[in-house]
Amino acid sequence: MAPSRPLAPSRTRGVSRHLVEFFLVGGLTPFLFPLSFLVRRAFGLDPAEYAVGFLMFHAAFVINDPHFAVTYVLFYKDAKARAFGGAFRGAQRLRYLVAGFVVPLVLGGVAIVGLATRSAFTLSLLVRLMFFLVGWHYVKQGFGVFTVLAARRGVRFAPRERLVVLAHCFSGWAYAWASPADPGREVEEKGVVYTTLAHPAWLEHLTHVVFLSTALPLAWVLFQKWRREGRLPILTPLTALLCSIWSWSIYSSSDPLVRYVLPALHSVQYLYFVWLMKGNEAREREGPPWFERSARTRLGILAVSALGLGWLLFHGAPTALDEALAPRGKLMPEDLGPTPYFAALYALVNIHHYFMDTVLWRRENPETRYLQEPALGDERRAS
């Protein structure tokens, strides 16, 4: 009977850990809609929207901006070994070279041309590409979170099953981009005025039909997996997947208050996986045979680096460049805005982040083993 005494607190900790994980990877999303309704009803739309927008603007300093910046810290770690040594091989090395060097050179070239010629159209190409790819980035992250969390719970998907899930993801991205129908409007983003790419009504309807048609195969795959394997502990992974596709991508504008929070929810989901991977690595490296600095110190340095680099990329550098180099008064074309360097850096960092993620979170990256192996042992002991 003696060994049975520690099991209750262990299970309690396990339940608490799973609950926290559920909320961090997207489970908080469904609760925000009724909360938004209550806040709007109590205070009115305008005051509530002002307060939430103000809050999320400042929260971006410690949530959204570090989520972009930490990608650079992780990606360019051991860059020489990854690009030219033995850390990455074959296709993974090629992906690293393209995402790490070719992509920023191309994006930087477009930005320089746009800024040098004061061309709002050229800068708008970066903005358009950013908005086109953001849905792809969201659903791909949702897919990765889904598969990794399922694997940590002992559920693995065969290649054909993964294709069914990916079909739902990519068709959701297509529908999110095509909806709503748009004849081509003049809009402004970070001061840059441009005309949106037209989305005809038939494209919206077609992508909608395709997207809905992928929901049934997804449900069928999950049902068959449950029948075949007898268990499917999939609530948290499936919530993360569906929130990434449905709430954060397709119907992201369905609630006037929740839409301000969606980038933070996506960023928290991302940062949680950074914490999983680097936390497990740090705990391993502080023990034998390495005996390196403590996990707390390593994670603290990573957090401070992400915060500092995030401030530099989105505030310090663009503000300094705009104040020093952006022409003022009549020399500034109205469709370029007063902050063209901020617009260029903002779009460049976003797009580059999307491409770097396609390398960092692939299974070919040896560090991704920290997402499963140590945590998997903890999960089994807690269950």
Q: What is the pLDDT of residues 51-100, one digit of tens each?
A: 999 999 999 999 999 999 999 999 999 999 999 998 999 999 999 999 99
Angle at 366 between CA 361 and CA 369, to 5 degrees: 75
C-alpha 93/C-alpha 87 separation (Å) is: 8
- Is residue 12 over pLDDT 70? no
| Of 342, 300, 345, the residue nearest 322 (C-alpha) | 342
C-alpha 377/C-alpha 337 separation (Å) is: 54
H or E stretch at 193: strand 192-195
Dihedral sign, Cα of residue 88, residue 92, residue 94, residue 100: negative
pLDDT at 5: 42
pLDDT at 289: 86
Count CB-CB contacts under 10 A for residue 1: 4
Residue 371 amino acid letter: L
In the chain, % of residues over pLDDT 90: 80
Total-model pTM:
0.91
3-class secondary structure, 194: strand
Q: DSSP readout, 57-108?
A: HHHTTTTHHHHHHHHHHHHTTTHHHHHHSSSS-HHHHHHHHIIIIIHHHHHH
pLDDT at 9: 47
- Is residue 334 over pLDDT 70? no
- Is residue 3 over pLDDT 90? no
Please, what is the end-to-end C-alpha distance for the chain in angstroms?
19
Q: Quick one: pLDDT band at residue 25, thresholds 50, 70, 90? A: very high
Angle at 373 between CA 372 and CA 377, to 5 degrees: 105
| Of 7, 31, 1, the residue nearest 19 (C-alpha) | 31
3-class secondary structure, 249: helix
